[in-house]
Amino acid sequence: MTGVRIEALLPEHAEQVLGIYQSGIDEGNATFETKAPEWAAFDKTKLPGHRFVALDDDGRVLGWVAASAVSDRCAYAGVVEHSIYVHPEARGRGVARGLLDALIASTETAGIWTIQSGVFPENTASLAVHARAGFRVIGTRERIGRHHGAWRDVVLLERRSPLID
pLDDT attached to residue 142: 96
**What's the confidence (pLDDT) of residue 30?**
93
Tell me the pLDDT tens digit for each residue of 24-49.
999 999 999 999 999 999 999 999 99
pLDDT at 50: 98
Residue 143 sits at φ, ψ, to 5 deg, of: 45, 50
Looking at residues 83-96, what average pLDDT do you find? 96
pLDDT in tens, 113-148: 999 999 999 999 999 999 999 999 999 999 999 999
Q: Long-range CB contacts (< 8 A, 24+ apart) of 105-111?
A: 106/49, 106/50, 106/52, 107/50, 107/67, 107/80, 107/161, 108/161, 108/163, 108/164, 110/49, 110/50, 111/78, 111/164
| Confidence category of residue 2, pLDDT binned at 50, 70, 90 | confident
| Rounded mean pLDDT, 143-155 | 95
Full set of structural domains in the chain with CATH: 5-160 (3.40.630.30)
Residue 1: is its pLDDT beyond 70? no
pLDDT per residue over 43-83, tens digit each? 999 999 999 999 999 999 999 999 999 999 999 999 999 99
